[in-house]
Amino acid sequence: MDAQMKKGLLDACVLYILIKGDTYGYKLTQEITSLLETSESALYPVLRRLEVQGHLETYSAEHSGRLRRYYRITAAGILRLNEYKVELLELKKVIDFIAGGDENG
Amino acid sequence: MDESLKSFLTELRARLSGFPESETREAVEYYEEYINDALEEGENAENILSHLDSPERIAAVIMTETSIRKAQSKPGLKNYSNVLKYSRTLITKPLSVLLFSIFVIVTYSTAFLLFLGAIVSAAAACIVLPGAVYEALKIPAGFTAEIIGTIGGGLFFAALCLLPAYGLFKLCTLFIRLSASLVGRILNKPGNQLRDTRQNSTIGISSPSPDSEGITDAGEKGEKIAKRAGTSRWIPWTCLIAITVGLILSLSTGLPVKLFMIFNSTESSSITTQEWEYSKSDVNKISITTAHSHIRLEKGSSDKIKILYEQPDWMEPEISCANGQLTFEEKSNGRLPLFFLVSLHENRTDVVVTLPAGFEPAELKLESRGGFIYIETGDFNTKVKTYTGSIYVEKGTAMTAGVKAGTSTGIIQAAGKDAGTKTAGGIKYEAVVNGGKAIEIETSRGSIFIDWISSRGA
């Protein structure tokens, strides 16, 4: 898959997972890699970028004697996710069109 | 924790050295937590490591990504050089390395030149305005118009320098933003060097373009960007206002017109003619010095020594005659700013020295900084000197004195032909000295014309 497209999809996936509830790095990675074929270490830059852009924020909570960092979506992140949804709906139209063409052909 | 996992984290930390401590800690903590969570889920060390990129690659991606983001929010040469430094480690193919090196050289030197241009223009502005004020302070209090005109001119030129400085600086930051974004795009290109060999997947390097960043970034950051853009716009407007005010101020005083006339050898309008006469028995030595008026030495019909001076309103003459020494000196009255430079250009006003026939002074000295000197008579020892002015000697049949001439950068022509010997210091010329009487000519930047038929009537 094109890296630029994957980048956008990664951002959207992360934000979508977070809107369902706060989570931590490992869990997030497992969910993403089951969807998109990507390196497991590729997620950190994505999370860091989204944090710097203000789309998500972090907090620490104790877990079995150590601190675990949790990610939480922000209001700006929700707005961004909605933008992604609009873009993806457009993309879906194209995909349906192409897939439909295959069926007819 | 397994040794191999510990060494993974140690190496990651080492690879991130030189990076801000907070960023390094955050990244290492993330991967430490990730490994702990993976172990908790029952994964073994080998399995975990096989799913992760090498510490070297992870560090390079983090540093490149962060440096690009930094270069875009704060586009400076240092931040841009970090982008190039970190992204370089992500490129391994020989051809890509070569192309990327060319890209680095071109973009970095362009950004550097733009920045240098901005600095030079800004420095010029910083010198011009205080310089103009300093010059204005040197002008005598009586010449209010010239003082205002000088400050106005300084304001005009300083603002004129500041405007390109601002433009170049903006261009430099824009260029760095675009270049940093381009680096991100190059590294993101599918099938490129970034393709992970083990995972056969690409690592996303983000490069939000400057405008999209402004739109998508909600909240505080977006506001900050908008605020920065708003506050910086006053600089060009202030410059434009200063240019207009400075121009109106200086033009209204008539000072630019005066300087324009001098630098275009136009006849000055504000001239008062003065004349002095001396008996030839009172004079033995003559010394004439001008700033940038021409000096003409002529033969007269009366038996008096006459000095005629066309005095422009920015000059004052000083004349004295005592113990056989006649001295004339033209000086600035302080009215024109930067007179040191102005006087390098000739002014179309004359000091005409008329000598009676048969009069022979023991010593004759003619000196002008920027004016021309015409000698139409003089069978006696004469010393002629200018800095930028040319010297014309009409050595017709009546004149028999020899000529010794030298110029550093000008030419010497005798009877319409190139003459003289080239020396290390310029050109030297020597004509036969008859009876020991010689006209000694010296000019630094002007030319020398001997046997010159003057186009001007007597």
Q: How far does the CA of residue B340 sit from the closest CA of chain A (Å)?
A: 58
pLDDT at residue B201 is higher than 60: no
Q: Do B221 and A54 touch (CB under 8 A)?
A: yes
Tokens representing residue B395 in the block: 């050595």
Mean pLDDT within B117-134: 94
Which three-class secondary structure string do you get for chain B? CCHHHHHHHHHHHHHCCCCCHHHHHHHHHHHHHHHHHHHHCCCCHHHHHHHCCCHHHHHHHHHHHHHHHHHHHCCCHHHHHHHHHHHHCCCCCHHHHHHHHHHHHHHHHHHHHHHHHHHHHHHHHHHHHHHHHHHHHHCCCCCHHHHHHHHHHHHHHHHHHHHHHHHHHHHHHHHHHHHHHHHHHHHHCCCCCCCCCCCCCCCCCCCCCHHHHHHHCCCHHHHHHHHHHHHHCHHHHHHHHHHHHHHHHHHHHCHHHHHHHHHCCCCCCCEEEEEEEEECCCCCEEEEEECCEEEEEEEECCCEEEEEEEEECCEEEEEEEECCEEEEEEEECCCCCCHHHHCCCCEEEEEEEEEECCCCCCEEEEEECCCCEEECCCCCCEEEEECCCCEEECCCCCCCCEEEEEECCCCEEECCEECCEEECCEEEEECCCECCEEEEEEECCCCEEECCCCCCCC
Is A10 within 8 Å of B201 (Cβ atoms)?
Answer: no
Q: Which of residues 143-202 of B touch A (CB under 8 A)?
A: 185, 188-190, 194, 196, 199, 201-202
Q: Where are the domains of chain B?
A: 53-207+228-237, 271-450
CA B405 vs. chain centroid, Å, equals 35
Q: Does B205 touch chain A (CB under 8 A)?
A: yes
Instruction: Specify which residues B114 forms β-bridges with.
Output: none
In the prediction, which pLDDT does A101 show? Answer: 62
Q: Is A58 helix (H, G, I), strand (E, B) or coil?
A: strand
Mean residue pLDDT across chain B? 84
Q: Is the overall model pTM greater than 0.80, yes or no?
A: no
Q: Which residues of B touch A47 (CB under 8 A)?
A: 30
Instruction: Specify which residues B294 forms β-bridges with.
Output: B350
In the prediction, which pLDDT does B70 show? Answer: 85
Predicted confidence (pLDDT) per residue in B275-302, tens digit: 999 998 899 999 999 999 999 998 888 8
Predicted confidence (pLDDT) per residue in A39-65, tens digit: 777 788 889 889 988 999 999 888 888
Q: Which residues of A touch B5 (CB under 8 A)?
A: none
Confidence class for position B376, pLDDT limits 50, 70, 90: confident
Cα–Cα dist B94/B113, whole Å:
28
Cα–Cα dist A105/A25, whole Å:
44
Closest in A2, A49, A76 to B190, CB measured: A2
pLDDT at residue B219 is higher than 70: no
Confidence class for position B402, pLDDT limits 50, 70, 90: confident
Predicted confidence (pLDDT) per residue in B145-170, tens digit: 999 999 999 999 999 999 999 999 99
Cα–Cα dist B259/B69, whole Å:
52
In the prediction, which pLDDT does B223 show? Answer: 52
Q: Give the CA angle between residues A24, A27, A33 to the nearest 5°.
A: 130
Using beta carbons and an 8 Å cutoff, which residues of A are at the interface with B? 1-4, 6-7, 10, 24-27, 29, 37-42, 44-49, 52-54, 64, 66-69, 74-76, 79-80, 83
> Between these two residues, B64 and B294, which has the higher pLDDT value?
B294
pLDDT at residue B455 is higher than 50: no
Q: Do B33 and A64 touch (CB under 8 A)?
A: no
Cα–Cα dist B38/B50, whole Å:
12
Is B366 within 8 Å of B288 (Cβ atoms)?
Answer: yes
Q: How far does the CA of residue B175 sit from the closest CA of chain A (Å)?
A: 22
Cα–Cα dist B109/B451, whole Å:
56
ipTM of the complex: 0.85
Is B121 within 8 Å of B161 (Cβ atoms)?
Answer: yes
pLDDT at residue A11 is higher than 90: no
Q: Do A39 and B213 touch (CB under 8 A)?
A: no
Place of tokens 């004195």: B401
Confidence class for position B233, pLDDT limits 50, 70, 90: confident
In the prediction, which pLDDT does A49 show? Answer: 87
In the prediction, which pLDDT does B445 show? Answer: 92
Tokens representing residue B164 in the block: 């390109």
- State the count of interchain CB pairs (< 8 A) between A and B: 110
Q: Do A39 and B52 touch (CB under 8 A)?
A: yes
pLDDT at residue B115 is higher than 90: yes
Q: Which residues of B touch A37 (CB under 8 A)?
A: 199, 201
> Between these two residues, B197 and B135, which has the higher pLDDT value?
B135
| Mutation site for A-interface testing, chosen from B9, B37, B62, B63 by largest number of A Cβ within 10 Å | B37
Q: Do A7 and B219 touch (CB under 8 A)?
A: no
Q: Do A45 and B203 touch (CB under 8 A)?
A: yes
Mean pLDDT within B32-51: 86
Q: Find, in chain B, the residue whose alpha carbon is nearest to that of A1.
A: B190
Predicted confidence (pLDDT) per residue in B333-352, tens digit: 999 998 989 999 999 899 99
Confidence class for position B250, pLDDT limits 50, 70, 90: very high
In the prediction, which pLDDT does A2 show? Answer: 67
